[in-house]
Structure 1
Amino acid sequence: MVLVDNYFLAILCCVYCCLCWGSWANTQKMVALKNWSFELFYWDLTVGLFVTALVGALTLGSLGEEGRTFFEDIAAMDWGSIKYALLGGIVWNFGNIFLTAAIAVAGMSIGFPIGGGLAWIGGIIFNYLLISLAGEVYPGNQALLWIGVVIIVAAIYICGKAYGKMSASKASTPKKGILLAIIAGLSIMFFYGLVVKSIDPQYITGGTGTLTPYMGVFCFAVGVLISTPVFNTFAMNHPVQGHKVTMKDYLKGDVRTHLIGMLGGFIWMSGMVVSFMGSGAANPAISYALSNASPVVAMVWGFFVWKEFKGAPKGTVPLIATMFVMFVIGLVFITLSN
């Protein structure tokens, strides 16, 4: 399989993942313009995720000279390791349904900073604990790490204030969008560490399993695939906005609409595949921290491309600018901590 051993290249892998995880929701915004609800979009997103993970395992996971190939890993894998990756997929999927709903209700500029931001700091802490519980010492400056985390927490708070200010001008309540984003963040924060635990420690710090990175990512995708019918069917029957939708509505979508949704899955999963490709050179806490800087990317898309704050009341834009700067500063501190 193909792995990245150079630290600088591993950081670039994480940056690519960050760009992907902050950009996939553009496809949701694209189909929303055609009144395609996020629940219908989510079926295509799941298909794109799974196919991309499979292709990654069959290509990058089977080429190169390092470790076992994907098919050799199938013969060697054990349930004790698989269950962590599957659980990681299920946990992420539960949270991502809420994140997708938050984006539909509040937009990328709000859903991502709150939901993604909480997942970001929670995941850093969770992955830090995994390193500690494995009997190892965090390989970096812990003070810089925690300063970065505190700054990001402050940025999330400012984001909530900005959304509340904008909602007040429209005589609407911000509670639904914020609540959906919070639930998303509290769920997503655990998925990365669970997948890490499924992987053989020779490939990643904190791993306790027997899987290669590509097999871990593939099993994660299987977890997403098998849980989507449960989570998304519930979402279809209990919409957070609009009316109920059915599979008949899904089948009415044209080919372009379905392909856009699958593209969203490809974008997100290609980021995860590349991130785990370099996870051995960059410890899990740093890999997760850099990869999940996606709220910064999503804010740029939401603010400048989708104009989500167009017509916002006076004082809102300075709050958004402050939030963006604080996210970047927090990211710099976290990066320097290694």
Structure 2
Amino acid sequence: MSCWGSWANTMKLCPGYRFQLFYWDYVIGLLFGAILWGFTLGSTGSEGVSFVADLTKVHPYHLGMALLGGVIFNLANLLLVAAIDVAGLAVAFPIGIGLALVIGAISNYVINPAGNPLLLFGGIALVVAAIVMDALAYRLREKERRNAGSKGILLSLLSGVLMGSFYPFVSKAMFTSGASGPYAVAFLFVIGVALCALPANYLLMRKPIDGQTPVDFSGYVAAPKRWHLWGAIGGMVWCTGAVFNFVAARTHFVGPAVSYSIGQGATMVSAGWGVFVWREFAGTTSRIKLLLTFMFIFFLLGLCAIAAAPLFAGH
């Protein structure tokens, strides 16, 4: 949750770096992170199959599910990065990832039911309320600035629909008969991200969806080295969160629905960064601040209910 909610700060540390160029470094970081964890934590211990052995025996079905999950995630993440660029962390994450939490939790619960459904879906309802409050706060902020605030919300919503759809494929790669382990699935998932990023991000360079001019690759070559480093670190941080999330999902106590839902608590982390560190709502009215306050409260209550769902599974 902390990793998934913090990686986007690396974008903020690269002012003027177009998100399409940042994304190449981000994907490099994803690949490096998946390999690093595979050959360290994924290759130690006495239980399960080692990372390399797991990859050598992966079934085509599980391979396809992991790759497809990566492809869908990549499309969602590109839209999310664009939404962050347009609207900021405090808007893109609560709307996009909040919607993804709702879609992903429901679909994962259908595939592999685990946890108390009343707490799980009650928590989801609270998250939906928080999403609405954040969207209202954003629209009010944009009206004050005399900007058209619909693009940031639209990009966030599109990202959320796709982001909520990738995890069930990851679940199928890890939970069906003869499934691969979490480290192998994470690596294959990242390969899917990289394969999709090549044509998709190139297309966004030629036809940007953020309303700006087309992006030339010369900007990537000319970018400061620290920007490339921050982009790669962002990818590694996200990958670290994904690996730990996949490992947690494999445990019977937690399950994929709860693991995914808690992971999407990243929304609260990123919104906190956006509001309190990057000051994305600084100077706004008391009405907007009240909406943001209730957004945080509802999100926290929803996440607490979701986190408690495994503890009361039999009730």
The TM-score with structure 2 as length reference comes to 0.95
> Given the alignment of the two structures, is residue 94 of structure 1 paired with residue 75 of structure 2, yes or no?
yes
The answer for the alignment partner of 1:52 in structure 2 is: 33
Percent identity for Structure 1 against Structure 2: 37
Gaps of 5+ in 2: 311-315
Residue 259 of structure 1 is matched in structure 2 by 229
Q: How does 1:95-174 map to 2 (within 5 A)?
A: 95-131=76-112, 138-174=113-149
Task: Show the counterpart of 2:270.
Answer: 298
1:309 is the counterpart of 2:281: yes
- Displacement of 1:253 in angstroms is 1.1
* 1:197/1:208 contact within 8 Å kept: no
State the alpha-carbon separation in 1 of the partners of residues 130 and 48 from structure 2: 41
Amino acid corresponding to residue 123 of structure 2 in structure 1: G
Deviation at 1:277, TM superposition (A): 2.2
Q: Give the number of the structure whose residues are more often helix, by fraction.
A: 2
Alignment match, 2:241: 271
SS in 1 for 2:43: coil
For residues 1-338 of structure 1, the aligned pairs below 5 Å read 18-31=1-14, 33=15, 35-131=16-112, 138-199=113-174, 201=175, 207-239=176-208, 240-281=210-251, 282-338=254-310
Partner residue in 2 for 1:11: none
CA-CA distance at 1:246 after TM superposition: 1.6
1:15 corresponding residue in structure 2: none
For 1:140 and 1:25, the matched residues in 2 are separated by: 30
Root-mean-square deviation (Å): 1.1
Helix, strand or coil: the match of 2:123?
Answer: helix
Distance in 1, matches of 2:268 and 2:52, equals 37
Distance 1:316 1:167 in 2: 11
Look up the equivalent residue of 1:67 and give its one-letter code. G
How many angstroms does 1:209 deviate by? 4.9
TM-score if structure 1 supplies the norm length? 0.89
CA distance in 2, matches of 1:171, 1:80: 51
What do the CA deviations read for 1:88-117 (whole angstroms, capped 9, x no partner)? 000000000000000000000000000010
Mean Cα displacement is larger for which, 250-259 or 208-217?
208-217
Amino acid of the structure 1 residue aligned with 2:37? G
Compute the displacement of 1:60 (Å): 1.2
Separation of aligned partners in 2, 1:58 and 1:314: 51
- Is the CA contact 2:114–2:257 (under 8 Å) kept in the aligned structure 1? no
What letter corresponds to residue 285 of structure 2 in structure 1?
A: P
State the match for 1:14 in structure 2.
none
CA distance in 2, matches of 1:223, 1:275: 18
Q: How many residues align?
A: 307
Structure 1, unpaired ranges of 5+: 1-17, 132-137, 202-206
